Amino acid sequence: MNGESDDRLHSAFQLMAQAASSNAHHTDLIFLTVFVVCGAVALGVAFTMFWFCVRYRHGSGAVHARVGTHRPLELTWTLVPLAIFIAGFAWAAHDFVSLYRVPPGATQVYVVAKQWMWKLQHRNGRREINELHVPLGQPVQLLMTSQDAIHSFYVPAFRLKQDVVPGRYTGLWFTATQLGEFHLFCAEYCGSQHSQMLGRIVVMQPAEFAKWLGSGTEQPSLAQYGFARFRELGCSGCHAAGSTVHAPSLRGLLGRTVHLQDGRTIVADENYVRDSILQPKKDVVAGFDPVMPSFTGQVSEEDIQALIAFLREGAVP
Amino acid sequence: MNANAAAREHPHDAGGREPPREIGQLGMWVFIASEILFFGGLFVAYVYGRSHWPNGFAQASRHTDVVLGTLNTGVLLTSSAVIALAVACAESPAFRRWTARLLWLTAALGVIFIVIKGMEYRKEWHEHLFPGPGFELDAGGAQLFFMLYFVMTALHALHLAIGIVGVSLFAWATGQAKSWAPPRRIDIMALYWHFVDVVWIFLYPLLYLVERHS
Amino acid sequence: MKSYLQEGTTIASWLTTRDHKRIGILFAIAITFFFFIGGAAATVIRLELATPQADLVSNDTYNRLFTAHGVIMVWLFLIPSIPSVLGNFLVPLMIGARDMAFPRLNLTSWYVYMLGGVIVLLALALGGVDTGWTFYTPYSTMFSNSWVAVTLLGVFVVGFSSILTGLNIIVTVHTLRTPGMGWFKLPLFVWAIYATSVILVLATPVLAITTLLVIAERLWQIGVFDPAYGGDPLLFQHLFWFYSHPAVYIMVLPAMGVASEIIPCFARQRIFGYRFMAYAILGIASIGFLVWGHHMFVSGQSVAASMVFSLLSFMVAIPSAIKVFNWTATLYRGSIHFDAPMLYALGFVGLFTVGGLTGLVLASLSLDVHLTDTYFVVSHFHYIMVGGSVMAYFGGLHFWWPKITGRMYADTWARIAAVLIFLGFNLTFFPQYLLGVQGMPRRYHTYPPEFQVLNLLSSSGAVVLAVGYLLPLFYFAWSLRPGGRIAGANPFHATGLEWTTPSPPPKDNFEQLPEPPQEVYGYDPAKDPRHDPARGGAMAAEPVR
């Protein structure tokens, strides 16, 4: 990647923060186009008004007379903006949709926001506070929830932002295209220290990132930790294959289509797993009794994220 | 300039004569429109809750007292019929006493509704159906249902109470032949009363009749 | 004939009045008071933001300041400003009526507004609220340590003032037009206030119920916004924005109405495309109810919903664009005068255009992901609400001041103020667009040092803006002095029924109810009574009473 030359280029142009993600360039292109078009319109209107004010000021030599209706003109300046607007909408909408299509093979990082800090955990268990190390050129998917108020994960250099909401997971994915460190801001007002809830994204070469990820204090991976909780909380008591209690199997759960008791069909995702742990009577699987107890109060947000990681990649009994 | 327009008098030049009915009626309709939007926010919350928690809402709805609720619906519908009769009577001064009696009856039916509602609330309190710690039902969304149930019916009851006071005032004024209770104002009061009734007609099935098969 | 100002001079006569003109003035005094309180909060904010560190006030105080600024400016100043001051005063005059349909309800509306205002002031005195004017849950319901319930009670009460005013205007316009005055003979100001009133009546109740639900959840922990009970924080955002987006049209439509009165008068040219202008007002009011989700593109709202809201947000810009083009076209071949009202109106058109175009930027989905919750949004809405609505309100005050008071102010000082406001405004808010693009989030008390230069520019602009806003206090007050310049019935030679009655009008508005005009905006630039060629191009002397 020609990271270094881009660095020099971007430091010379200070208007926007350096573009450091694969989608940032698309956003910047639309922005530049919209800016030019809107700027032209604004200047055009301003100039026309100014010109008319000068030319038709009272007492000037110009013709001062009533003006009739001019339907073709009115229709033109109605339909031309309409066409431009539809085009603008479509272009930005197209880019927007791709922001929500996570590429396969993206690495998950779990994020818990709380007043007034960011807690992040990589799959192998490595934790970070207010910092996120990521490898250059590889897609990363953030699965985020809040412990208290609504926060928002904002990286201006990536041109990306996603609100982090209590009670559910929201997601954000990116592929970093520049080495370096970039601001992480909280962008949803969340109380006293909202403006001090700062962090940074550190983009490293993949090899260095792997080294960094492997170092740090010895601790179990997220999935291993999730397995430990799975046993401690007694999940396998009902959900394991050999159990006497009739409970749905959890193998390969994430991404599977599930038929619910009330006739609905959903695709099991992170939010479904979280709801099933905390509010098991919400979406009961068809053919099963609603006997699963709730684990509210017994599991933290990190525990739930670990359990999800375990279900995703562990050896589920 | 068209002759009809010139012939039509401006209400502000009508001297001391009664202003046209349309002014007060339009005012009440506009007010009703705002009230529909006021209740509308709660209906939106209800739709959200019911679509996310169909089981919870169904289970909770089965714990409302459908007998008392249906009885109350009958009471309110009857009261609307009664006040419509009162409005008809009000058009003719010969029926002044009947107008007053019918208005009193309307108010009385409204009071009966509120008493029955109070009985229901008492029952629900004892059955631990008020949201908060100690809530009886455990289906997801059941507590949300009852939260909406209490807010919606309380708001409705508040509007009904205002209606009862208004109708009672007009009943008294008609009985005393007061000048500030002319037919057009009774008409407008009745419009408000009908609106309160219509709100209940929407609330009743949404709150009492979710998945009642038996 | 006695004017409405001379009918009873005691305070009691003012506090028990049913005269729509006096009620308009009561509102004017009240909102001016709140404007300066909200402005004081803004002054402290900009002073603090001149440097990156927190060196003026604490975090909590800063958060309470920007909340107070928003709550006061939106609900206690902007929303009532043009409708309850100029709308109340002018609508009955413009349609040839003697008063509103429900005069006592009108006075009630003012008392309800005052009650709500007092409650909000009480909340401020107790220590204020720190949730932002948007009161997002669960911060407002569960985590804020401030006077949320009291403030929201005040907002709830003020909302009813809005609803009552709107109701009064709708019924008045429908039933009290002078015979022969069809809808398409109405001044566009009346159209604008009418459409605004429909929004007031239909949108404000949703805010009312939402504030009640937040209060309930905060006080008794029973609520629809708490996930633990099966609720959803996003439900609050939907309910809140369902009101608050139409609310911004409550703030801008009346401003457009004012511009549509001033520009034809001072260009001596009837408005270009009157019918399209009227339909555009209705279009903005109706489509404006369908776009609220554009405040929630990154909230966790579904992609499909976001796409619908984005498309509709582009659509609502079309009627606004039509209006800007039509105001510009009205200048063509006119005979243009640059009195203070015209400077304000032209400034309004320019700044509204910039604000509206940046609205399109924000409506673009992928751009909004970067720009939402940054200073780009702050600048966008200030361009429209301050550069737009406040400028138009000031323009309206200057245009109708002679009618309302019977006095003329010093036009030179008024023009100086208009220019100072325009320049100060741009210096304050244009840098904020750049800050947003660079990624500075909003509601930030402290910020990284690289944002300082633009912040300092913005704060300097605020000084100029403040001076501009203070000037009118002086020359308006000066115009009221004994022996001040008397204005005639129609100093600007404007069309419109309000100018056919003396300045100030008598209590019952007209001696004899007027006939509607042959055509609305009957101006002819070739026959400009304010331009007298015989005197070498100087203006004809205005009639002096």
Determine contact: C232 vs chain B, CB below 8 A. Answer: yes
| Cβ contact, residue pair C328, A115, below 8 Å | no
Which pLDDT score is estimated for C532? Answer: 64
In A, minimum Cα distance to C536 occurs at: A59
Q: Which pLDDT score is estimated for C543? A: 43
Chain B residues in contact with A292 by the CB 8 A cut-off are: none
Interchain contact, B10 vs C513, CB within 8 Å: yes
Q: Which residues on chain B are in Cβ contact (under 8 Å) with C170?
A: 26, 30
Can you tell me the mean pLDDT for C307-331? 97
Task: Inform me whether the pLDDT recorded for C537 exceeds 50.
Answer: no
Please name the chains neighbouring B, where neighbouring means 3+ C-beta pairs under 8 angstroms. A, C
Dihedral sign, Cα of residue B43, residue B44, residue B49, residue B50? positive
Cα–Cα distance for residue pair B82/B64, rounded to 1 Å: 28
The most confident of the ranges A215-229, C224-238, C382-396 is C382-396
Pick the CATH number of A107-214 from 2.60.40.420, 3.40.190.10, 3.40.50.300, 3.40.390.10: 2.60.40.420
Query: CATH 1.10.760.10: which residues of chain A?
Result: 236-313
Across chain B, mean pLDDT equals 90
All residues of chain A having their beta carbon less than 8 Å from the beta carbon of residue C267 are 56
pLDDT at C538 over 60: no
Convert the pLDDT of each residue in C407-433 to its tens digit. 999 999 999 999 999 999 999 999 999
Residue B64 pLDDT level (bands cut at 50, 70, 90): very high
Give contacts of C161 with chain B, Cβ < 8 Å. none
Q: Tell me whether B49 touches chain A (CB under 8 Å).
A: no
Given an 8 Å threshold on Cβ–Cβ distance, is B10 in contact with C97?
A: yes
Nearest CA in chain C to A35: C361
C306 at the A interface (CB within 8 A)?
A: yes
- B37 vs C167: CB contact, 8 Å cut-off? no
Where along chain B do its domains lie? 23-208
Q: Spell out which residues of chain A touch residue B56, defining contact as CB-CB under 8 Å.
A: 281-282
Q: Which residues of B touch C (CB under 8 A)?
A: 1-2, 5-13, 20, 22-23, 26-27, 30-31, 33-35, 37-42, 44-45, 48-49, 52-53, 56, 131-132, 140-144, 147-148, 151
The pLDDT value given to residue A7: 41
Residue B7 has pLDDT above 50, yes or no: no
CA distance B3 to B6: 5
The predicted pLDDT at position A125 comes to 85
Inter-chain contact A261–B55, Cβ cutoff 8 Å?
Answer: yes
pTM reported for the whole predicted model: 0.92
pLDDT at position A8 is 37
Q: CA–CA separation, C384 vs C280, rounded Å? A: 17
Cβ of C143 within 8 Å of Cβ of A115? The answer is yes
CA distances from A147 to A116, A127, A273, A300 (A): 10, 17, 17, 9
Instruction: Quick: pLDDT tens for C69-88.
Output: 999 999 999 999 999 999 99
C531 touches chain A (CB under 8 A): yes
Whether C67 has its CB under 8 Å from any CB of chain A: the answer is no
Rounded-to-5 percentages of helix, strand, coil across chain C: 70, 0, 30
The CATH class of the B23-208 domain is: mainly alpha
Please say if the pLDDT value at position C223 is more than 80: no
Total length of chain B: 214
Q: What is the pLDDT of residue A218?
A: 67
Task: Tell me what pLDDT residue A14 has.
Answer: 54
User: Does B138 lie at the interface with A, CB-CB under 8 angstroms?
Assistant: yes
With CA atoms as reference, the chain A residue closest to C275 would be A69
| C-alpha span between A144 and A171 (Å, rounded) | 6
pLDDT digits (tens, 9 = 90+) for C486-506: 999 999 999 999 999 999 999
Q: How far does B129 lie from chain C, in Å, by closest CA?
A: 13
* Nearest residue, CB atoms, A65 vs list C59, C299, C333: C333
| pLDDT reading at B5 higher than 80 | no
Smallest CA–CA separation between C538 and chain A, in Å? 8
Domain with CATH 2.60.40.420 in chain A: 107-214
Give all strands (DSSP E) within C410-452, no chain letters.
Answer: none
CATH superfamily, with its number, for domain A236-313: Cytochrome c-like domain (1.10.760.10)
Using a CB-CB distance cutoff of 8 angstroms, which residues of chain A are in contact with residue C439? 17, 154, 156-157, 183, 185
Say how far apart CA B77 and CA C159 lie, in whole Å: 32
Q: What is the pLDDT of residue B6?
A: 43
* Per-residue confidence band for B214, with pLDDT thresholds at 50, 70 and 90: low
Check B37 against C235: CB less than 8 A apart.
no
Q: Does A271 touch chain B (CB under 8 A)?
A: no
Could you count the other beta carbons within 10 Å of the beta carbon of residue B201? 12
- The answer to whether C201 contacts B8, with C-beta atoms less than 8 Å apart, is no
Chain A partners (3+ C-beta pairs within 8 A): B, C
- Asked if A66 and C525 come within 8 Å (Cβ–Cβ), the reply is yes
Residue B142: closest C-alpha in chain A: A282
What's the gap in Å between the CA of C83 and the closest CA on chain B?
17
The three-class DSSP label of residue C374 is strand
Q: C233 touching A, CB under 8 A? A: yes
SS3 labels along chain A: CCHHHHHHHHHHCCCCCCCCECCHHHHHHHHHHHHHHHHHHHHHHHHHHHHHHHHCECCCCCCCCCCCCCHHHHHHHHHHHHHHHHHHHHHHHHHHHHHCCCCCCCEEEEEEEECCEEEEEECCCCEEECEEEEECCCEEEEEEEECCCCEEEEEHHHCEEEEECECCCEEEEEEECCCEEEEEEECCCCCCCHHHCCEEEEEECHHHHHHHHHCCCCCCCHHHHHHHHHHHCCHHHHHCCCCCCCCCCCCCCCCCEEEECCCCEEECCHHHHHHHHHCCCCCCECCCCCCCCCCCCCCCHHHHHHHHHHHHHCCCC
Name the minimum distance, in Å, from the CA of C244 to any CA of chain B.
14
Average pLDDT, chain C: 94
Residue C234 forms contact with B (CB below 8 Å):
no
Residues in chain C: 545
Residue of A nearest to B51 (CA): A264
Query: B41–C102: do the CB atoms touch at under 8 Å?
Result: no
Q: Which residues of chain A have pLDDT under 50?
A: 1-13
Question: Minimal Cα distance from A81: which residue of C?
Answer: C318
Q: B145: distance to nearest CA of chain C, Å?
A: 9
Tell the CATH topology of C15-527.
Answer: Cytochrome C Oxidase; Chain A (1.20.210)
Which of A64, A164, A184 is the mutation pick for testing C, counting most C CBs within 10 A? A64
Chain C interface mutation, best of A47, A189, A283, A295, highest count of C Cβ atoms under 10 Å: A189
Question: What are the tens digits of pLDDT across the range B87-141?
Answer: 999 999 899 999 999 999 999 999 999 999 999 999 999 999 988 777 888 777 8
Q: Which two tokens stand for residue B2?
A: 């068209």
